Structure 1
Amino acid sequence: MARTLFVLTGAGISAESGLGTFRDTDGAWARFDPMRLATPEGFAADPVLVHAFYNQRRRDAVRAAPNPAHTALARLETELTSRGGRLFLCTQNIDDLHERAGCRAVTHMHGELLRARCVACGTEPVWHDDLSVETACPACGQRGGMRPDVVWFGEMPKHLEAIDEALAEADLFVAIGTSGAVYPAAGYVAQARAYGIPTLALTLEAADNAGMFESTRLGRASETVPALVDEVLSGRL
């Protein structure tokens, strides 16, 4: 029988690729003020500071390589598709490691670090280079209005309607490497439970919303995710 899996990934899946998390005790928001670096108001007040922060994160993301957890999900997508099923991969991450591992359909609810956005005309070009207050929009030519195409505090996540539709159609919900602290993503487990969908968390440490999951497996994503994929594809889960 064809299966439809909804997989939600967070910073924990990319941590083993060397990309820092946000909400751990040594994460980005423990070391930097998110109100200065990740809000529209912070960008308006000091765009030079915000650009410097995201330019470094963009460089780090480009240097990073997918790990076995990313490649296992790409294998899951390929195999499910060949069997008439579907993997809906929804990520809170703004890196492109899922795509570079081979995933063809990734829903970035918090935007993408390797895209920019013009606040003047709204264009969202692919962008691998640094941004600055001098960067001109390739569409409208205006300078000073190019920003990372990421969702900041106080902004609406992307693709919410498509996410809700996919969750309603799933027969298994899996959260991988998520903190369980950021909404609306942290509420998807409750939504899945309301639909009667089995829920599973794979995480290094119990998430803030761990009590909502029917099952939790603790461990490194590079180990737990390939094991999960093997179970799913063999029909043991």
Structure 2
Amino acid sequence: MEKLTEQLRQARRVVVLTGSGISADSGVPTFRDPQEGLWAKFQPQDLATPEAFRHDPDFVWQWYQWRRKRVLSVEPNAGHEALATLAEKHPALTLVTQNVDGLHQRAGHRDVIEFHGNIHRNHCLDNGHEVRVEGHPDKPPRCRLCESLARPSVVWFGEAIPERALERSVAAAQQAELFIAIGTSATVYPAAGLADLARENGATIAEINPEATQMSAVDITIRARAAEALPALLAGWD
């Protein structure tokens, strides 16, 4: 932790990549966790695809409504809050998250690059128009501009990362002097490519994860949960 704190102090540009591990500390179920209730017999991978939505839009929409309610029932944890404070203290810190839950923003983080979108937003299936949804309907509403069905603004399996998010993430990784992966293995592309880019350009690579990962060429490893490690990192900074 002392080594990471020192690197954080010295680095002019820092990139933080967060994954499901930081949200798991708030009680948000990950894709690896078993589903509950009505959804127990389904695999998330079978529901989070464009093909599944086109086949049965009402069913997929209801699953996402369930997930949205789960996310809204929890609060940002000490890890989210500490990271938001660190970003205020280190203005050249860029946060890229693979999470779609919006917990970083709720914790006060002002600029978050959402690599996989946001579960609380919607856009239409055919043309990508933003769709504002009132209440919690059981069926996907239609776009007022083109009558296409609304879908969650998240990246489904088989879909590309939003162009602007990818461009900003790549640019930040190329310029980073310190790259920290938190609660993610950072081995699934294209997110894993950000760590590779940072490493190729001379950045120090650190990871915070309670479990061993397959990340290669890591300079600093902290085996702890994000909700424990990030407040400690903030305390060391102060």
Q: TM-score range by the shorter chain?
A: 0.7 to 0.9
Q: Which has the higher contact order (CA 8 A, sep 6+)?
A: 2
Structure 1 gap ranges (5+) = none
TM-score normalised by the chain length of structure 2: 0.85
- Tell me by how many angstroms 1:229 deviates: 3.1
Q: Distance in 1 between matches of 2:88 and 2:134?
A: 27
- Tell me by how many angstroms 1:102 deviates: 0.4
Q: Which moved more, 1:150-159 or 1:128-137?
A: 128-137
Q: 1:61 aligns to what?
A: 71
SS of corresponding position for 1:157: coil
Q: Residues 131 and 201 from structure 1, CA distance in 2 versus in 1: closer, same or farther, beyond 3 angstroms?
A: farther
Q: Residues 43 and 197 from structure 1, CA distance in 2 versus in 1: closer, same or farther, beyond 3 angstroms?
A: same
1:20 and 2:25 are equivalent in the alignment:
no
Q: State the superposition RMSD in angstroms.
A: 2.3
| Percent of matched pairs sharing the same residue | 43
- Tell me by how many angstroms 1:134 deviates: 5.0
Structure 1: which amino acid aligns with 2:217? M
Aligned counterpart in structure 2 of residue 186 of structure 1, from 188, 192, 197: 192
Q: 1:153 aligns to what?
A: 157
TM-score normalised by the chain length of structure 1: 0.86
1:142 and 2:147 are equivalent in the alignment:
yes
Structure 2: which amino acid aligns with 1:121? N
Q: Deviations over 1:124-166 (max 9, x none)?
A: 24557435445132x41626x1100000011001211111111
Q: Distance in 2 between matches of 1:128 and 1:198?
A: 45
For the Cα contact (< 8 Å) 2:11–2:178, is it kept in 1? no
For the Cα contact (< 8 Å) 1:72–1:229, is it kept in 2? yes
Q: Residues 31 and 68 from structure 1, CA distance in 2 versus in 1: closer, same or farther, beyond 3 angstroms?
A: farther
For the Cα contact (< 8 Å) 2:14–2:177, is it kept in 1? yes
For the Cα contact (< 8 Å) 2:185–2:215, is it kept in 1? no
SS of corresponding position for 2:96: strand
SS of corresponding position for 2:161: coil
Q: Deviations over 1:207-236 (max 9, x none)?
A: 2x33332221111211111222344x35xx
